[in-house]
Chains A and B, each alone.
Chain A
C-alpha cells in the first residue's frame, strides 16, 4: 500500500524555509490551475503570495464522467461558482473550456460534449479552448483534438494544449503539426507541460511554451530556473497545474522566488510569471493587463455580502495559529 505518511522524511529532502518575502510586491498570474479541487486555504495563501489572477482549464476530474449533464454542470461551475469563490479572495478567475483528451476516448459521450461546447466558449471570462490534446494518442483523441481546433479557429480563441506524459516529445511535435494543419496561428496556441526535451522545438516553431511546476511527476522549479537562463523570457510561462493530486498552488510565486535567488532579472521573472500569459490568453479579447491592474472587484463589482463561505459574521481569515475555532 502506498501511504505518503509512511514515507521516510529523509527521502523527501531537507525542509527548506519558504522565502516568499523575496517576491514581495510581485504580481503573479497562474495560467493553469484546477481550483475546483482546492480549498479556501489555498486561495488565501495564493492571494497572500501575490497571485492576482488564474486560468482554470476544463479537465478530467480524476474520475471518468458518465453523462453529459455532469460535463455541463462542471463547465457551469467554472464560469459560476468557482469564479465567485475566487473573487472572495480578490483573485480574478478565468477559464478555458474544452473536452480533455482522456475523456475523448469515450466517444459516445465525447460527441455530446462537442455539442454543448458552443454554449460556453463565448461566455465572459472564457479565454480559450482547453485543455485539449493528446493523452494516449488514440484516433479518438486526435478526432476530438481536431474538432476543437476548428472550434477555436472559428471563435478566434487561443488554444491551451495538454501534452502527453508518455511519449511526450513525439506527442508534442504531433500536437503542433496538427494545429498548423488546421490553419492556427502558433501565436494563438499555448503548448503546455513542456520539458527540456520539448522547449526548443516549441519556441522555434513560434508557439507559446508553458511549463508546469508540479512535484514528482512534472517539472521541478530548479530545472525551470535553468530553462529561463538558457532560453530567456520570450513566449515562456510558468504554471502550477495544481489539482487533486499532490501539487502546489504556490508553484508560480515559489518559482519566482527561486529565480530572484538565482539572480534572474525582475523583468524576466515578471514576463514568465505574469505578463506572457496575459499576452497569450489576452488574444481572446477577454483579458488584458489594465483589467488586472484594477482592484479585483470582490463579488464582481457588487457589494460584498455574506455568503456560504464567509457566512454568519465569520472572519474571512481562519486563525491558523490557534486551536480555538470560533
Chain B
C-alpha cells in the first residue's frame, strides 16, 4: 500500500466495519465466511469471473425472511479519496451488500477499473442495476461515470432511475448542466420524489427554470397536475411567462400545497409583480407562515 493510500485506510476500515455490521445479521454464518473471504480476494486481485459470481449471487445468501428488510445509514464514505458519501435510505440488504462488494474493488488503472464495472452494467438484472447506479458516488475515477449516469437517467425501469435520482449525490457533483437538467425534467415527468434529489436547489439554473415553465404550461393546457415543487425551482428566474401562469393557477383555487408553493416562490423571487401580489393577498401571506 502506498503512503498516500495508507492515510485513508483508517477511515476506510471504519466505514467497512459500519457496513459490515449492518448487513451481517441477514446472512448465515457459513455464507458470511465465504463472502468475506471472496471480498478479500476481490480487494487483492479482482478477477472478473469471481467479481461477477459474488455480485450476482448476493441475493442468494441473504436469509429468505430478511430479503425485504430495509437498512438506513448515513454518510458511509467510499474507500478512495474525494469520494462522495453513500446515503443509504431504506435499502434492502442485497442492495447494500452489492454496493459493499463494489467498494472492495481496488482502483487498478482507470481503463481496467472502468471496464471491470462496465461489464457488470452490461449484464445486470434489475436489482443489480439498482446497486450499480447506487454505487456511483463511491466508484473510483468519478469523472469516468458521467456517461453511464446519463444512460441510467434514460432508463425505463423506475427503480433504476430512482437509484440515481434519490439520495444519490453523484449526479449533482459530476453531471454537466444539460444532463442535470434532463435528470430534473425526467424527475418531474415520472413523478419522482423531488425532495430526495440531492443538490436540486444548488444546481438550479435559468435554462432549467425556463424548460420547467414550458412544461408547466403544457401540463396546464392538458389539465394535468403540476408538482408544487416545480414552482420552487422557477422562483429565482421568474418572468412574465412564469408569473402569468402561476397567477392564473392561483385564481383557479388550487390545493393548499400548490398555493403554498406558489406563495413561497413569489416570496423568494425578485420579480416585482409577484412581490406586489403577495403583499396584497393576505391569504397567500398566511400560507407562508404555515408549516409544510
A321 at the interface (CB under 8 A from B): no
Interface 9-residue window, one of B125-133, B236-244, B262-270:
B125-133
Q: Does A311 contact B (CB under 8 A)?
A: yes
- The secondary structure that dominates the B interface is helix
Task: List residues of chain A with CB within 8 A of the CB of B158.
Answer: 84, 299, 302, 304-307
Which of B190-198, B206-214, B248-256 has 4 or more CB atoms under 8 Å from chain A? B190-198
- In this assembly, does A313 line the interface, its C-beta being within 8 Å of a C-beta of chain B? yes
**A263 CA / B59 CA spacing, docked (Å):** 43
Known: A122-B56, A297-B68, A313-B224. A80 touches B126 (CB 8 A): yes
Which of B56, B124, B223, B225 is the one whose CB lies under 8 Å from A80? Answer: B124
Contact of A123 with B193 in the complex, beta carbons under 8 Å: no
How far apart are A113's CB and chain B's nearest CB, in angstroms? 14
List the B side residues contacting A72 at CB < 8 Å.
122-123
A124-B127, A301-B68 known; A119 vs B156 contact (CB < 8 Å): no
- Structural contact, B191 and A83, CB atoms closer than 8 A: no
A303 vs B161: C-alpha distance when bound (angstroms): 12
- In the bound complex, CA of A307 to CA of B57 (Å): 28
Residue of B nearest to A73 (CB): B122
> Chain A's nearest CB lies how many Å from the CB of B116?
14
**What number of residue pairs across chains A and B have CB atoms under 8 A from each other?**
88
B159, A80: Cβ atoms closer than 8 Å: no
B102 within 8 A of partner (CB): no
- Complex: A290 Cα to B68 Cα, angstroms: 14
Scoring A residues 53 to 76 as 1 if CB is less than 8 Å from chain B, else 0, what string do you get? Answer: 000000000000000000010001
Residue in A closest to B52 when the chains form the complex, CB atoms: A119
Interface size on A, residues (CB 8 A): 31
Within the assembled complex, what's the spacing in Å between the Cα atoms of A285 and B60? 9
Is B92 on the interface with A (CB-CB < 8 A)? yes
With a cutoff of 8 Å between Cβ atoms, the chain A residues found around residue B64 in the complex are 290
The answer to the question of B189 belonging to the interface, with a C-beta cut-off of 8 Å to chain A, is: yes
Interchain CB contact under 8 A, B159 and A300: yes
Interface residues of B in 27-79 (CB under 8 A from A): 52-53, 56-57, 59-60, 64, 67-68
Q: Are A302 and B126 also in contact (CB < 8 A) when A312-B191, A312-B224, A313-B224 are?
A: no
Q: Give the residues in chain A near B223, CB-CB below 8 Å.
A: 326
Asked whether any CB of chain A lies closer than 8 Å to the CB of B18, the reply is no
Contacts A80-B125, A84-B126, A311-B190 given; indicate if A124 touches B59 (C-beta within 8 A). Answer: yes
**Judging by beta carbons under 8 Å apart, are A305 and B157 in contact?**
no
A11 at interface, CB cutoff 8 A: no
A120 part of interface (Cβ distance < 8 Å)? yes
| Cβ contact within 8 Å between A122 and B53 | yes
Q: How far is the CB of A125 from chain B (nearest CB, A)?
A: 7
Query: Smallest distance from the beta carbon of A304 to chain B beta carbons, Å?
Result: 8
B126 CB contact (under 8 Å) in A83, A294, A304, A313:
A83
Closest chain-A Cβ to B127's Cβ sits at a distance in Å of 6
On whether the beta carbons of B129 and A80 are closer than 8 Å, the reply is yes
Known: A122-B57, A124-B59, A313-B225. Is A301-B92 also a contact (CB below 8 A)?
Answer: yes
Taken together as a complex, chains A and B put the C-alpha atoms of A326 and B53 apart, in Å, by 47
CA distance in complex: A308, B223 (Å): 19
Shortest distance in angstroms between A53's beta carbon and chain B's nearest beta carbon? 16
**Shortest beta-carbon distance from A281 to chain B in Å:** 16
A76 CB contacts on chain B under 8 angstroms: 122-125
Q: Point out the residue from B60, B92, B123, B162 that lies within 8 Å of A305, measured CB to CB.
A: B162
A132 cross-chain contacts in B, Cβ below 8 A: none
Inter-chain contact A305/B191, CB cutoff 8 Å: yes
For A285, the chain B residues whose CB sits under 8 A away are 60
CB distance from A217 to the nearest CB of B (A): 32
The residue in B52, B57, B127, B162 that gathers the most chain A C-beta atoms within 10 A of its C-beta is B127
Task: Across the interface, name the chain B residue whose C-beta is closest to A93.
Answer: B126
B54 CB to closest chain A CB (Å) equals: 11
Residues of B within 8 A of A123 (CB): 56, 125, 128
Chain A residue nearest in CB terms to B65? A290
A7 to chain B, nearest CB (A): 37
In the assembled complex, the Cα of A290 lies from the Cα of B225 at a distance in Å of 40
Interface residues of B in 267-284 (CB under 8 A from A): none
Q: Which residues of A contact B129 (CB under 8 A)?
A: 80
Q: How far is the CB of A114 from chain B (nearest CB, A)?
A: 15
Q: Within the complex, what minimum Cβ distance (angstroms) separates B258 from chain A?
A: 14
Give the residues in chain A near B130, CB-CB below 8 Å.
302
Pick the contact of A79: B53, B68, B126 (CB < 8 A).
B126
Residues of B within 8 Å of A120, CB to CB, are 123
Q: Which chain B residue lies CB-closest to A119? A: B123
- CB contact between B127 and one of A300, A308, A313 (< 8 Å): that residue: A300
- Is A244 part of the contact surface with B, judged by Cβ < 8 Å? no
Residues of A with C-beta under 8 A to B124: 76, 80
Binding site for A on B (CB under 8 A): 52-53, 56-57, 59-60, 64, 67-68, 92, 122-130, 156-159, 161-162, 189-193, 219, 223-225
Q: List 7 A-B contacts (CB under 8 A).
A: A72-B123, A80-B124, A84-B126, A84-B158, A124-B127, A305-B191, A308-B156
> Which 8 residue pairs across A and B have the least CB separation, nearest first?
A306-B191, A79-B125, A306-B190, A307-B158, A84-B157, A119-B123, A308-B156, A123-B125
